[in-house]
Amino acid sequence: MTARSTLTMVGAIAATAILAGCSGTPGPATSSTGTSPAVVAAGQPAPRATEVNPPGDIPDTQSYVIFSPAGGGYSVKTPEGWSRTSTGTTTSFTDKLNRIQVSAAAAATQPDVASVTKTDVPLVKATVAKFAMGKVSTVVRRGGSAILLTYQGDSAPDQVTGKVVRDAFERYTFYRAGKRVDLTLSGPTNADNVDPWRIVSDSLRWN
């Protein structure tokens, strides 16, 4: 065999090897960690992440029922299904981290910003752990005007876990004909309960 023939044969063998390597089926693409990425089937949407509401958020689907205590002289909407406890003229409704408290009492004069600031604030401060003052203002609700006191404080420790939650409070004082009704709404500071609290505070009516 001549030198020229030998070179021709070597070239043919090399070309055959290259073609054989290119005709192989490629394996799945891998990430930098060596694992195969997840593949979404054609025509199928990517799965959505599960929505998780912050603790204390009252769902938009919450339904409400009217609470009107015998002889109370008022009515107010409260979330259906919440646990209820009563002591004298004070009634509380609770669910998980949220709470509604409503109480009625005789009052010789109509409360205003000055009287709530001077008299009510010290009483509230004495009963709320780590009380932090917000503000006192006059607001208008569908049932009439009210004095609104806002503040923050720590919840009572959970009976099981001992966990304490930082709560935000809205305390509405309504008045008519010698009677006042105090409506206090509270829940975690990071919860978005603007709409539910508006439903409740807008619902108070005098009987």
Q: Give the pLDDT score at 55.
A: 72
- Across-strand partners of 90? 87, 103
Q: What is the 3-state secondary structure (H, E, C) of 125-154?
A: HCCCEEEEEEEEEEEEECCEEEEEEEEEEE
Alpha carbon distance 119, 183 (integer Å): 17
pLDDT at 197: 98
Q: Can you list the alpha helix ranges (DSSP code H) found in the chain?
A: 3-22, 113-115, 121-125, 194-203
Q: What pLDDT is attached to residue 43? A: 62
**Strand, coil or helix: what is 65?**
strand
Which residues are 150's β-sheet partners? 170
For residue 41, the SS3 value is coil
Compute the distance between CA of residue 161 and CA of residue 75 in angstroms, rounded to an integer. Answer: 35
Question: What is residue 54's predicted lDDT score, i.e. its pLDDT?
Answer: 61
| Separation of alpha carbons 104 and 66, rounded Å | 16
Place of tokens 């979404």: 40
The pTM assigned to this predicted structure is 0.74
pLDDT of residue 42: 61
Query: What pLDDT does 56 receive?
Result: 85
Residues of the chain with pLDDT under 50: 1-40, 48-52
How high is the pLDDT of residue 183? 98
Task: State residue 160's pLDDT score.
Answer: 87
Structure tokens at 25: 């089926």
CB 116 within 8 A of CB 123: no
- Could you identify the residue written with the tokens 């090399």? 14
Query: 146 has which bridge partners?
Result: 139
* Residues facing 100 on adjacent strands: 93, 185
CB 66 within 8 A of CB 77: yes
Work out whether the CA dihedral 145, 168, 199, 207 comes out positive or negative. Answer: negative
| CA pair distance 150, 169, nearest whole angstrom | 6
Greatest CA span in the chain, whole angstroms?
Answer: 127
According to DSSP, the β-strands at 129-141 and 98-106 are unpaired
Residue ranges of domains in the chain, CATH in brackets? 64-206 (3.40.1000.10)
Q: Are 150 and 169 in contact (CB under 8 A)?
A: yes
